[in-house]
């Protein structure tokens, strides 16, 4: 085969990568040894393979590249006249090694990235599971409260707003007289400003004898805007006042927001 035929056949690429059968590889090696043009073509193929390995594996340390390149440069073999020429078969082995190392480092980098993504996914799944548990717990609590308030054991008392203080305000009390438990739905009350807090009262009316049930705060909140109170004295009415932080021993009647009588 002529020089041009060898180049056009694609056998040089197979030779460089060590993919030719031994007999054909020996023929190509001999042709390359005798033909400077083929030698330059093989050098160009080698350079392309090395660039390719570098592009797929940017993470290979520079010291490793340096050792590989030095090894390639130092591979020589003596011909019959004692002159030196490049041992292209040996170089083809190094080219394959470069590609293999490049592939290994690429796989290592890819595996590391996948591991990081997996850890992030596991963390996100854990957070979603925790949110789901919280949501399920809240739904269960809401359903339980609804069942309680719908029970025949609870009487509903409407507390209209005090016309002199908050005419549009209102609240609802769900009262179990037997077990002395009351739930107050405060979502009809105006929002509290500053450090003041709403306080619930159980009232005897004649004469007026108020007994504090407790504050409408987080300690008594069982659902957003709904508060639970136990050991409620047998009332004739319920009232809600606005008091300073911490509550008061007696209700501030000038800040009485809602008041409602209990049906006999």
Here the tokens at position 169 are 């305000």
Query: Could you tell me the pLDDT band of residue 41, with boundaries at 50, 70 and 90?
Result: confident
Q: Which residues contact 198 (CB under 8 A, 6 or more apart)?
A: 186, 189, 192, 215, 216, 240, 241, 242, 243, 257
Answer with the residue of higher pLDDT: 84 or 60: 60
pLDDT reported for residue 98? 60
CATH 2.60.40-classified regions of the chain = 155-261
Find where tokens 């033909």 sit: 35
pLDDT digits (tens, 9 = 90+) for 187-245: 999 998 889 999 999 999 888 899 999 999 999 998 889 999 999 988 999 999 999 99
φ/ψ of residue 138, rounded to 5: -65, -40
- Identify the CATH number of the domain defined by range 155-261: 2.60.40
Q: What is the mean pLDDT of residues 39-58?
A: 70
Average pLDDT, the chain: 78
pLDDT digits (tens, 9 = 90+) for 128-174: 667 655 555 555 566 777 777 777 888 999 999 999 999 999 999 99
Residue of 145, 155, 132 lying closest to 238 (CA atoms): 155
Q: What is the mean pLDDT of residues 59-84?
A: 51
Query: Could you tell me the pLDDT band of residue 79, with boundaries at 50, 70 and 90?
Result: very low
Where are the extended beta strands (E) located within the chain? 76-78, 84-86, 155-160, 170-176, 181-185, 197-205, 208-215, 221-223, 226-229, 237-243, 256-261
Asked if residue 80 has pLDDT above 70, the reply is: no
End-to-end alpha carbon distance in the chain: 118
Query: Could you tell me the pLDDT band of residue 60, with boundaries at 50, 70 and 90?
Result: low
Q: Is the dihedral of CA 133, 139, 145, 151 positive or negative?
A: negative
pLDDT digits (tens, 9 = 90+) for 101-122: 666 666 666 667 777 777 787 7
pLDDT reported for residue 104? 65
pTM of the predicted protein model: 0.49
pLDDT reported for residue 20? 78
């Amino acid at each position: 085969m002529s020089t041009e035929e060898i180049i056009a056949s694609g056998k040089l690429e197979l030779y460089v990568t060590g993919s030719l059968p031994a007999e054909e590889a020996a023929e190509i090696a001999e042709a390359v040894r005798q033909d400077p043009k083929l030698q330059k073509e093989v050098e160009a193929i080698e350079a392309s393979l090395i660039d390719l390995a570098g592009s797929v594996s940017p993470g290979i340390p520079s010291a490793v590249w340096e050792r590989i390149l030095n090894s390639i440069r130092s591979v020589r073999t003596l011909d019959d006249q004692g002159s030196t020429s490049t041992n292209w078969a040996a170089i083809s082995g190094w080219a394959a090694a470069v590609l293999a190392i490049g592939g290994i480092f690429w796989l290592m980098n890819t595996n590391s990235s996948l591991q990081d993504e997996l850890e992030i996914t596991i963390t996100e799944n854990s957070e979603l599971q925790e949110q789901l548990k919280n949501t399920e717990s809240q739904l269960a609590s809401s359903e339980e409260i609804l069942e309680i308030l719908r029970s025949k054991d609870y009487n509903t008392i409407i507390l209209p707003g005090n016309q002199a203080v908050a005419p549009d305000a209102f609240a609802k009390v769900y009262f179990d007289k037997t077990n002395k438990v009351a739930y107050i739905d405060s979502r009809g009350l105006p929002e509290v400003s500053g450090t003041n807090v709403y306080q619930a009262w159980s009232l005897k009316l004649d004469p007026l004898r108020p007994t504090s049930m407790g504050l409408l705060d987080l300690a008594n909140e069982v659902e957003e805007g709904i508060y639970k109170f136990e050991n409620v004295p047998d009332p004739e009415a319920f009232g809600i006042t606005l008091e300073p932080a911490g509550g008061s021993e007696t209700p501030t009647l000038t800040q009485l927001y809602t008041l409602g009588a209990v049906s006999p």
